[in-house]
Chains A and B, each alone.
Chain A
């Protein structure tokens, strides 16, 4: 049997009405489902953090050593704005403007990672807080570290796109894939809001 030919639109019985729907793009649905999965993954670490607030048997405690990283937060959240501007430029076909905003996003993301690294350095060498010190150390490094891992993955992908742009491979046809990446970046930023509130507001 010629595979599937009988059921195709060309066959004799094609009398009935065909309901047509436009299907969403694979990339967008895929990233949304991935974001759903990742959100649940993060929420378990947030739950562990909240569960162990105030249950430390020894110091250092959050109120002694944590200071809200305001500059860092402003940088990461503004990178969501720059990536939107980059995407608008790309959709308008202006590769140059796209490159500038994309570079700004990359720079802001790197600044965030440098800030986190400096905070960790201070906590480890001056306050002597490591993952094995107490429950605060355990939950703090895993939650903030998990977020930093996601930022790092995002930065590697953003850097790849940056390299493609500088080599002149970027054009409007790649707008959808790049947009999917930007959704991931927005997700990483949104997670930071939750992490910030959990660690630096509620947990202190």
Chain B
């Protein structure tokens, strides 16, 4: 074993990156099976799609800024909202978050790679080409019928709208194939992560000594393994309906439109937790480091995450209160949905408990984390409101729901993604991101976010429906929509600051050193960026904070754990 590692070290020393021509370097990235490179490619690819899908959202907000704007046609609006929604979930959220887990989990468990490196590369390329299919539909989607280009069926694509008779052309087929491929890729990644966490931990790292992020990675991977297959199965059924004339969702042959909704939301609701649990995982690492305290309630935090994953599997039909389920069904799903607030409440109190009495350092990652805490709380509160079935009957398919889930997806998840980028960028590149531009980014994005999505709650309460391409003047919606659209300008300016920051730091950023934040987990014990083999000598750990033990031999953690 030792011989082969020395061999790899020698090899990687030979292939000095700077001296290679650009084609050679690109080739290295294409053929790589290294979890760090694949992780970075996931994050980079996800960020590119984030910009594209963000521009699509901005176009929709431009159309909605004033009543009867007439900037884009209704069909174009439908395509924009479908592709924006699908892309943000499958092309942005999942890849960026699994990209981070890909990058971090082996480093944090003291391993040299994931359990199945080639499966990892397979999953990435499957994801990338699946993602390209969604946008390729803009070019190739009309097929032979001259009908429609990009999919226009909404991100949850209710049947029978998606059947051949109502969705002509190939745009819906591209939508199906894109989601099928990206979710098979994500399932492969989840299998890989779960296996790695069980089989690749370094010496001394028992399950109870894993960093909380790794625990949450395990929970998320488990959740992905059980919620992505229902989606893939439903997509396969829809594909059979469209190409072989099967009748799964064909209402004219006795098929059921409600069955699609069940299958979709059995995936669709836990998917929210697939996206938000990694965000929680980042908070679990960042908040303690910037509060200079051990995380409050390690075991409770882990237990709450497991409970959250478990409960999330039994709440899907709260997306379907308005289809007319039996009262018992409504009552069950309302009650189970409210149960979610217990583990999430525990988590929020534990994060506050971690900060309480700590020596808080408001660096950029911590600022985004605090923003996340407050916004996630509000998102949870509107979630409890929507869990009440009669309230949901009133407000389903209005902008209240749009505002609620964007509070989760942007206010919680995107904020924690930015926190994680600022926190781990120094590790991945060896350069610090600029603090000044980071502050501009944070404040502009925060102000823009609240301008857009706080106001949209009120648009919903005043009865503005989702998915409309325009509205009439003089119904109390004009000002609200204008403010919401102006908020987008602030958000875009914030993102611009972020991009400038990344480019400037990559060119001439301050060198980061191995451990710029004085942190405690294993990824900070190796160089920045880590070598291909991660650790020259595999680490041995004695507590949850191995680097604390190293820095404070007089007061190590293992004495108390």
Among B96-104, B243-251, B388-396, B446-454, the stretch that binds chain A is B243-251
Q: Is B458 an interface residue (CB 8 A)?
A: no
How many Å lie between the Cα of A135 and that of B535 in the bound state?
57
Known contacts A10-B537, A16-B556, A23 near B237 by CB under 8 Å: no
1/0 contact trace for B90-123 toward A, CB 8 Å?
A: 0000000000000000000000000110000000
The answer to whether B537 touches A41 (Cβ under 8 A) is no
Measured between C-beta atoms, what is the minimum distance from B344 to chain A in Å?
25
1/0 contact trace for B509-535 toward A, CB 8 Å?
A: 000001000000010011100110111
The answer to whether B526 touches A23 (Cβ under 8 A) is no
How many Å lie between the Cα of A36 and that of B198 in the bound state?
15
From A6, A11, A25, A51, contact of B199 by CB (8 A): A25
How many Å lie between the Cα of A23 and that of B200 in the bound state?
7
1/0 contact trace for A74-111 toward B, CB 8 Å?
A: 00000000000000000000000000000000000000
Number of interface residues of B (CB under 8 A): 66
How many Å lie between the Cα of A19 and that of B202 in the bound state?
11
In B161-192, the 8 Å CB interface with A consists of 187, 190-192
Number of interface residues of A (CB under 8 A): 49
From A7, A23, A36, A132, contact of B550 by CB (8 A): A7
The answer to whether B233 touches A5 (Cβ under 8 A) is no
From A6, A11, A23, contact of B198 by CB (8 A): A23
How many Å lie between the Cα of A14 and that of B266 in the bound state?
49
Residues of B within 8 A of A132 (CB): 244-247
Q: Is A142 an interface residue (CB 8 A)?
A: yes
Known contacts A51-B256, A57-B254, A4 near B247 by CB under 8 Å: no
Measured between C-beta atoms, what is the minimum distance from A147 to chain B in Å?
13
Among B52-60, B148-156, B292-300, B539-547, the stretch that binds chain A is B539-547
In A23-61, the 8 Å CB interface with B consists of 23-26, 29-30, 33-34, 36-38, 40-41, 44-45, 48, 51-52, 55-57
Measured between C-beta atoms, what is the minimum distance from B244 to chain A in Å?
5
The answer to whether A57 touches B538 (Cβ under 8 A) is no
The answer to whether A40 touches B229 (Cβ under 8 A) is yes
The answer to whether A18 touches B226 (Cβ under 8 A) is no
Residues of A within 8 A of B372 (CB): none
Q: Which one of A2, A14, A20, A138 has the highest number of Cβ atoms from chain B below 10 Å of its Cβ?
A: A138
The answer to whether A6 touches B525 (Cβ under 8 A) is yes
Q: Is B43 an interface residue (CB 8 A)?
A: no
Closest-by-CB residue of A relative to B191 is A33
The answer to whether A8 touches B247 (Cβ under 8 A) is no
Residues of B within 8 A of A72 (CB): none
In B52-96, the 8 Å CB interface with A consists of none
How many Å lie between the Cα of A88 and that of B195 in the bound state?
26
How many Å lie between the Cα of A145 and that of B74 in the bound state?
41
Q: Is B413 an interface residue (CB 8 A)?
A: no
The answer to whether A138 touches B246 (Cβ under 8 A) is yes
Among B19-27, B203-211, B352-360, B482-490, the stretch that binds chain A is B203-211
Q: Is B216 an interface residue (CB 8 A)?
A: no
Measured between C-beta atoms, what is the minimum distance from B113 to chain A in Å?
11
Closest-by-CB residue of A relative to B513 is A1
Measured between C-beta atoms, what is the minimum distance from A7 to chain B in Å?
4
Residues of B within 8 A of A138 (CB): 240, 246-248, 255
In A117-156, the 8 Å CB interface with B consists of 131-132, 134-135, 138-139, 142
Residues of B within 8 A of A14 (CB): 540
Q: Is A3 an interface residue (CB 8 A)?
A: yes
The answer to whether B240 touches A4 (Cβ under 8 A) is no
Residues of A within 8 A of B234 (CB): 44
Residues of B within 8 A of A168 (CB): none
Residues of B within 8 A of A56 (CB): 254
Measured between C-beta atoms, what is the minimum distance from A15 to chain B in Å?
8
The answer to whether A135 touches B247 (Cβ under 8 A) is yes
1/0 contact trace for B487-500 toward A, CB 8 Å?
A: 00000000000000
The answer to whether B553 touches A40 (Cβ under 8 A) is no
How many Å lie between the Cα of A59 and that of B236 in the bound state?
24
Known contacts A4-B526, A17-B558, A18-B540, A26 near B195 by CB under 8 Å: yes
Closest-by-CB residue of A relative to B553 is A13
Measured between C-beta atoms, what is the minimum distance from B239 to chain A in Å?
11
The answer to whether A55 touches B550 (Cβ under 8 A) is no
Closest-by-CB residue of A relative to B228 is A37
Closest-by-CB residue of B relative to A55 is B254
Measured between C-beta atoms, what is the minimum distance from A82 to chain B in Å?
28
How many Å lie between the Cα of A103 and that of B157 in the bound state?
47
How many Å lie between the Cα of A44 and that of B263 in the bound state?
8
The answer to whether A131 touches B245 (Cβ under 8 A) is yes
The answer to whether A4 touches B537 (Cβ under 8 A) is yes
How many Å lie between the Cα of A44 and that of B539 in the bound state?
43
From A3, A6, A41, A55, contact of B233 by CB (8 A): A41
Q: Is B132 an interface residue (CB 8 A)?
A: no
Measured between C-beta atoms, what is the minimum distance from B472 to chain A in Å?
42
Residues of A within 8 A of B558 (CB): 16-17
Measured between C-beta atoms, what is the minimum distance from A50 to chain B in Å?
11
The answer to whether A4 touches B115 (Cβ under 8 A) is no
Q: Is B225 an interface residue (CB 8 A)?
A: yes
Residues of A within 8 A of B254 (CB): 52, 55-57, 134-135
Residues of B within 8 A of A4 (CB): 525-526, 534-539
The answer to whether A29 touches B199 (Cβ under 8 A) is yes
Known contacts A23-B199, A44-B233, A131 near B540 by CB under 8 Å: no
From A3, A13, A36, A57, contact of B226 by CB (8 A): A36
Further 13 A-B residue pairs, CB within 8 A, beyond A26-B116, A142-B236 = A1-B514, A1-B526, A7-B535, A7-B541, A26-B115, A26-B195, A37-B190, A40-B229, A41-B232, A44-B263, A132-B246, A132-B247, A134-B247
Pairs across A and B, CB under 8 Å, 5 listed = A4-B534, A4-B535, A15-B553, A23-B199, A41-B232
Which residues of chain B have a CB within 8 Å of any CB of chain A? 115-116, 187, 190-192, 194-195, 198-201, 203-204, 206, 209, 225-230, 232-234, 236-237, 240, 244-248, 253-256, 259, 263, 266, 514, 522, 525-527, 530-531, 533-543, 546-547, 549-550, 553, 556, 558-559
